[in-house]
Amino acid sequence: MAKIAYRDAVRDAMSEEMARDSRVFLIGEEVAQYNGAYKCSKGLLDKFGPDRVIDSPISEAGFSGLAIGAAMYGLRPIVEFMTFSFSFVAFDQIVNNAAQIRYMSGGQIKIPMVFRGNSGGGHQIGATHSHAPENIYATFPGLKVVVPAFAADAKGLLKSAIRDDNPILVIENEALYGRESEVPDGDYLTPIGKANILQEGTDVTIVTHGRSCWTVLEAAQELHKMGIRAEIIDLRSIKPLDWPTVFASVRKTHNLVCVDETKPFCGVSAQVAAEVQRACFDHLDAPILRVTSVEAPMPFSSALEDECIPNVARIIEAVKQVVS
């Protein structure tokens, strides 16, 4: 398997799917001439031309609505948000149109499209550019939400999303675009709704997703030195969520710590904790703990950002409390 950067995996997924299916096109701010704000669409304009790689005006609501209309007529658009924080400008298009049209048309009209872009803090881009919105969009029936952590899933999940007949949000993370990891050769798909066990363990289950996977893996190395064997589950898909894999792990380790960058109130970890205590209460040896972003707007200060998002020290402390 080759080792490539996350952003290149995103580009390869779009390139392969556009070559495979002439109905697939990309639209967003700076995706064509500038190759994307984070260079995820580098070379696609030259390869597929301006009819399929389209620079849009700075109007998320406008180009999202255009893409939804195109999907209604059978095309398969990919909408790139420069940051998912800007998707809130197109909230009505995503939630009230993309998510609801199939239901409100009695299944007669499908919306096969992808909204993708980066999210999260840690880059000193301020409170309005640092949201992690996967928990918000996962609350709306009609939408699927995936959050790849590694290059292999950035490619495999995006290809699956493009081929799906439903609107899917593929939420990436700016900090991951330059990170390299192994990617299988050839055409492959990562199934939506299937979690991945990154590391097997016996003492505690850590459920996480997105960039937090990398932080949890780092914390697990320190925990190993302390004699604590953590089983790490990368959810990959927030909705649908792979409950059987989560439940099976908790029934084995009898302890659970949830780690993610959404806010603590109504976040992804809150949902996981609620479902696990309902399904696995008799198997738990200790209360479930969560390590999330703090309940505050994301500060600009780098030092404060490091404290706001889940870090190794907070994860280790939570695990030690659970297994003690």
Query: Which residues are the active-site residues?
Result: 60, 129
User: What's the farthest any 2 CA atoms get from each other in the chain?
Assistant: 60
Tell me the two tokens of residue 89.
């400008």
Q: Residue 131 and residue 298: Cα distance in Å, rounded?
A: 8
- For the record, the structure tokens of 307 come out as 């404290």
What does the alpha-carbon distance between residue 296 and residue 317 come to, in Å, rounded to a whole number?
21
Any idea which residue has 């205590």 for tokens? 277
Q: What is the pairing mode between strands 256-259 and 289-291?
A: parallel
Contact between residue 120 and residue 292 where contact means Cβ atoms under 8 Å apart:
no
- By the 8 A CB rule, do 32 and 41 touch? yes
Going by C-beta distance under 8 Å and a sequence separation of 6 or more, which residues neighbour residue 161? 114, 116, 144, 146, 168, 170, 192
CB 115 within 8 A of CB 170: yes
Q: How many CA atoms lie within 13 A of 285 on its CB side?
A: 15
Separation of alpha carbons 233 and 248, rounded Å: 11
- Going by the DSSP 8-state scheme, the letter that residue 175 receives in this structure is G
Structural tokens at position 2? 């080759």
- Measured at the CA of 36, the angle between CA 45 and CA 140, to 5 degrees, comes to 110
d(CA 309, CA 107): 40
* Contact status, residue 23 vs residue 114, Cβ threshold 8 Å: no
170 closest CA partner among 269, 238, 245: 238
